Structure 1
Amino acid sequence: MAGRKKSSQCSGQVLMDGKPRPRDFKTTVGYVTQDDVMMSTLTVRENISFSASLRLSSSFDWQAKRKRVDDVITELGLEKCADTKIGDDEARGVSGGERKRCNIGMEMIISPPVLFLDEPTTGLDSSTANSVMKLLKR
């Protein structure tokens, strides 16, 4: 459905609002992988800003991109950890739930009409998984 598999491996037809997917489908939808793909040495804000720099159109000036990043951080409830590094096995960083929300934010930055998530609660405790699901529902 997300267009990430070669079409020879799948059969059938995928429609969007009853029409074939547009050519730019992959660039207009968001896809959050199961494994977080972020720079551990960057902060939450820097990771989302990096995604914004790469993915938002050139019609967004620097200030508009910065505002969009701040809006996504607020929407995801990441204000308290926005300037904390992601971290890794060697350097402590944000919590698992904050890390997952940051990964989601990197896709939400483009305001996709469709957001695909591959097992968004993997590795999260039940309380954090519940808050991530409530966020996605909202």
Structure 2
Amino acid sequence: MMQELRCYYNHRQHLTEQIARYTLKIQKSLRLMNVRLDVALRDVTGKSGLTIIEAILAGKRDPYYLASIVDIRTKKSTEEIASSLQGNWRAELLFELKSCLDIYRYFNSALKECDQVIEKLLLQYTPTAVVSKEKEKLFKSYN
């Protein structure tokens, strides 16, 4: 079991490293187009960041439109965000951005799948009495 778990864990580490690598490549593609999404938002691959990237790839390039689709909980103003999103849209960098986003999403889905396999393995080898007692404790703490 430990060898199997170690194998899954090492694969998970690899997936996590690839996600980080492609997040940086996404940021670099944007930066080369003079789009500073990393300055406008805290997380380029968060909900708002991915929404903006998808809009850019769909052909919507107006900085004020892009700033308007950001989640309302974002701390920066629409003006600040729009000023960071005025880019020069180069076809080769848009292609690279799309490719990196596709690969980023693939590694994210592979990571979720790996996490599910690890969880199944851990549950399979966890004694049922321990699981039952933990569930019982959780149930009592909610009541």
Q: Is the helix fraction higher in 1 or 2?
A: 2
TM-score, normalised relative to structure 1: 0.26
TM-score, normalised relative to structure 2: 0.26
Higher Cα Rg, which structure: 2
